[in-house]
Amino acid sequence: MSTLPQPLDLTVTAPIEKDGAFATFVTVPGSAEVLGTRRAVKVGGTIDGHEFAATLMPSGEGPHWLPLRSALCRATGKSRAGEQVTIVLQRRLS
């Protein structure tokens, strides 16, 4: 059995999305393959160079959604749908 946290190495650039489930989120392509699951997973890394820890939520279709908290949107200066952010997942926390 492995100990947590585990290192990850996934970098994606994707647009911010808005929908009813989460106020602001980003779809993380390739996340299910890298994580080996479609379940919720706690991760840490950076968004546009700003540190974060969050729970990737299953989309039901494959990739996970990363909800963006308002504090992180303020830090990056991005919160509008369509704005591109670069996410670097560096560690799996659960």
Q: DSSP state, 2? A: P
Q: Quick check: helix, strand or coil at residue 32?
A: helix
State the Cα–Cα distance between residues 47 and 14, nearest whole angstrom. 11
The confidence score (pLDDT) of residue 2 equals 57
CA atoms within 13 A of residue 58's CA, in its CB half-sphere: 12
The confidence score (pLDDT) of residue 60 equals 84
State the Cα–Cα distance between residues 83 and 94, nearest whole angstrom. 29
How many other CB atoms are there within 10 angstroms of residue 6's CB atom?
12
State the Cα–Cα distance between residues 61 and 69, nearest whole angstrom. 23
pLDDT, averaged in runs of 10, over the chain (94 residues): 80 92 87 93 97 94 92 94 97 94
